[in-house]
Every structure is written in structure tokens, then in C-alpha cells.
Amino acid sequence: MTAAARPLIDIRDVRKQFRSRSGTFLEALSGTSLAVYANQFLCIVGPSGCGKSTLLRMIAGLETVSGGTIAIDGVPILGPRRDIGLVFQSPVLLPWRTILKNVLVPAEVLKLDSASAQKRAQDLLKLVGLDGFADRYPDELSGGMRQRAAIARALMHDPEILLMDEPFGSLDALTREAMNLELLRIWQASTKTVVLVTHSIEEALLLSDKVAVFAPRPGFVRELIDVPIARPRTAATRSDPIFIRLAERLRSYFEAGASA
């Protein structure tokens, strides 16, 4: 095997327990294994409470594992690392900073060269379609625009990996579909490894190379599905026969899961 075959993110038999208030342990994730390869777009789909966000937080190093290992590029995760960009469900912009200064936060924390950081931030704002809004404040922007700014911020320090936790979950359906296509464009322009958590089957199929289907309580990977739909994908991809077939298959998992 060549080195290229080694997964960039290697999740092996990871478990996560939370201690509830009554002192009993609550198992959020049990024996989860998943491999994400470089430049891959992987979506994690599952109903709420299946531990998918917890897994993302563990990859980001914000949460510890209760068992098993997560390694990035062969190095086990012990805490947050700077080659990861994070996008939350809400934009988490700082309301006292302009959009440009929000995007510059990672540069400030990582003490990047200010002149080139400014240039890069402007380029990123252009990439996410926010040029002209650099000096606006977050509360002057729509929900979709704020989430674009959050994506630009996550890309600021040019991380290898982009972790997105239901990034469009709080947007209306129309904005959400537009943002999905935007994200595809941005991803193709920046070639990152992306792990995106969602509970939308359509979103997962449209975006990803691979879909990991999670089953709930405790969560584990029930199925790993390849999405062999050619790129670049567009809005028309949703009516592709493969797309429709896979969507039906994915839906059947959740229906079966609900009745079980």
C-alpha cells in the first residue's frame, strides 16, 4: 500500500460516555470507526441525538474520547489543532467586529503576518460572495450571509480539514439549497478535506463523496455509502437517477430505525 492510502482522519472504535446528573453514564457513541481520506467530502447523516456532533467535536479536539482513538495524519488527537477549520450551526460571529475583522480572528490568534492576512481575508470574502460587506457588522447581514462569513473565517488559516456541524441547519430551505451549491463551489476552489454533519439526506448526497449513516442511542456508523455522482454537481444533480435511488435507500434506514 502506498502512503496515499492512509486515511487523513482515522477514527477507530471510538466511544463517548457522558455522566448524567444522576451519576449514571450515558453512552453517546459506541464503537464508531470511520476513515476520511484527503480531499474527500464526507457527510455524517443521522437523526438528532445520534452522537454525530459529538464525534465532530472529538475530531476537532474539543471533546475527549472515552475509548478508542482518533488520529489525524497518523497523530492521535490530544486537543485542538490549528490545521482544522470549524463551522458551527450558528455563525458564532463576534458582533462587535466587522465581517472582515471576524474573518481575521484566526489570523490574529495564530499571529499570521497582518498584510498577507488582510489580503487573504479579502480574497476569502470574495470567494464566499461577501465582497463589499467587509466593513459591515454581523447584525446587518442575513443568516445566509453570516454563515458565509463563518465559512470564510474557517478557511482563513488555510486548514487542511474543514469540520462543519449542521452549518445550514438554521437557514430557510431556499437559502439552504443555494448555500449547498455555494459550498460545493468553495470546496472545489480550495480543495479541503471536509466532514459535514447534517440531518438532511439531500444535502448529504448533493455534497459528499461518502455518506456515513449514523444510528442513534448509542450512535454508531450503520452504513458507509459511496456517492458515485460526477462532479461538478449542480441543482440538477438532485434529479440524477443515482441521487434519487440513494436518497430512497438512505431514507429507508431512518424509517427502519424509527420503527425498530
Q: Binding residues for another protein, per CB under 8 A?
A: 57, 60-62, 79-82, 84, 86, 88, 90, 92, 94-96, 105-106, 108-110, 137, 139, 157
Smallest distance, Å, CB 108 to another protein? 7
Say how far apart CA 224 and CA 42 lie, in whole Å.
Answer: 10
Query: Contact 147/103 with Cβ under 8 angstroms?
Result: no
Between 102 and 237, CB nearer to another protein: 102
Give the phi and the psi of residue 220 in degrees, each rounded to 5.
-155, 165
Say how far apart CA 216 and CA 206 lie, in whole Å.
Answer: 23
Query: Contact 122/140 with Cβ under 8 angstroms?
Result: no
Query: Contact 213/222 with Cβ under 8 angstroms?
Result: yes
Between 56 and 184, CB nearer to another protein: 56
**Letter for the amino acid at 147?**
Q
Between 38 and 92, CB nearer to another protein: 92
Smallest distance, Å, CB 158 to another protein? 13
Say how far apart CA 19 and CA 40 lie, in whole Å.
Answer: 34
Say how far apart CA 190 and CA 178 lie, in whole Å.
Answer: 19
Please state the three-class secondary structure of 200-233 as a single string.
CHHHHHHHCCEEEEEECCCEEEEEEEECCCCCCC
Q: H helices then E strands: how many in the chain?
A: 8, 10
Between 60 and 184, CB nearer to another protein: 60
Between 44 and 225, CB nearer to another protein: 44
Smallest distance, Å, CB 13 to another protein? 24
Between 140 and 226, CB nearer to another protein: 140
